[in-house]
């Protein structure tokens, strides 16, 4: 077997487990610390956007703008192809995302109720 093939077979091999195996050792250590912190925070914040994302209704422009700005800024990829950038941004912007989601859900509910009332009267 070639060296690369054998390394991929070893448990815990950076080639088979770590998608950033090409990153320098110091950067891998920094990534490991960040991943450990993210794992601790994972239960505290959602890791996906709601189905209404990226829709913005007029009455939710302000909370949407705050969340989108945070998500864009914090979701910047580090170390090339950073597969955790989106999840990290969602965790860091969780409070702003909650405000955006609450506004959107309330606004959508009001619109549904208005449509229901309009069609029920016909």
Q: Express each pLDDT in 45-96 by its tens digit.
A: 557 899 999 999 999 999 999 999 999 999 888 777 888 888 999 999 999 9
Residue 26 class from Cβ within 10 Å (0-12 exposed, 13-18 middle, 19+ buried)? exposed
Determine the length of the chain. Answer: 122
Report yes or no: 109 and 116 within 8 Å, Cβ to Cβ: no
pTM of the predicted structure, to 2 decimals = 0.59
CA angle 6, 33, 27 (to 5 degrees): 60
Least Cα distance to 52 among 96, 106, 116 occurs for 106
121 vs 112: which has the higher pLDDT? 112
């Amino acid at each position: 077997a070639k060296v690369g093939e054998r390394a991929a077979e070893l448990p815990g091999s950076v080639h088979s487990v770590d998608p950033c195996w090409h990153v320098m050792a110091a950067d891998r250590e920094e990534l490991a610390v960040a991943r450990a912190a993210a794992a601790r925070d994972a239960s505290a914040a959602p890791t996906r956007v709601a189905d209404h994302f990226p829709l913005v209704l007029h009455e939710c422009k302000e909370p949407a703008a705050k969340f989108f700005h945070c998500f864009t800024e914090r979701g910047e990829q580090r170390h090339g192809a950073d597969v955790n950038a989106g999840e990290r941004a969602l965790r860091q912007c969780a409070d702003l995302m909650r405000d955006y989601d609450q506004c959107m859900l309330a606004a959508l509910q009001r619109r549904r109720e208005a449509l229901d009332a309009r069609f029920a009267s016909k």
